[in-house]
């Protein structure tokens, strides 16, 4: 994978090597918080099948480069990296609207557990902020 996406974040590859792919779930009966795929997938070609992520949404501008997804949640919200924006972490909903996350890959995965049932959007100075604009003080 590293050869195919040499500019992707190092911590993504370290996570995949150490933890691998699969579902992150609260328990065996719960829907997954995130399903991490065994390799990065093209948002346009492999997941959405259209170029909607390259059209500006109501809240943020469109993707700047090829978007490579590492996973999605149980309702189809996708998560990946914008290769045209320094591999910035993105959340993409089923309308193809993009939310840029102020998180590293590992902060995002850890934040899923800290902010549950919401999703993390940022972490700074020991404070997590979730998609409902609620803050949590927790060590990173």
Q: How confident is the chain (140 residues) per 10-residue block, as mean pLDDT? A: 93 94 86 94 97 93 97 95 97 95 94 89 92 81
pLDDT recorded at residue 139: 58
**Of residues 18, 14, 13, 15, the one with CA closest to residue 3:** 13
Distance CA 49, CA 129 (A): 31
**Of residues 90, 93, 94, 71, the one with CA closest to residue 81:** 90
pLDDT recorded at residue 79: 98
pLDDT recorded at residue 11: 96
pLDDT recorded at residue 13: 96
pLDDT recorded at residue 10: 96
Whether the model clears a pTM of 0.85, i.e. scores above it, the answer is yes
């Amino acid at each position: 994978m590293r050869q195919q996406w040499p500019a992707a974040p190092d911590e993504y590859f370290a996570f995949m090597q150490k933890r691998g792919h699969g579902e992150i779930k609260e328990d065996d009966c719960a829907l997954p918080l995130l399903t991490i795929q065994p390799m990065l997938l093209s948002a346009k070609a492999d997941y959405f099948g259209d170029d909607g992520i390259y059209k500006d949404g109501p809240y943020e501008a469109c993707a700047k480069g090829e978007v490579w997804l590492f996973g999605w949640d149980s309702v189809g919200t996708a998560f990946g990296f914008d290769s045209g924006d320094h591999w910035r972490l993105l959340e993409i909903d089923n309308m193809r609207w993009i939310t840029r996350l102020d998180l590293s890959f590992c902060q995002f995965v850890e934040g899923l557990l800290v902010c549950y049932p919401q999703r993390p959007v940022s972490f700074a100075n020991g404070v997590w902020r979730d998609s409902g604009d609620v803050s949590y003080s927790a060590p990173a």
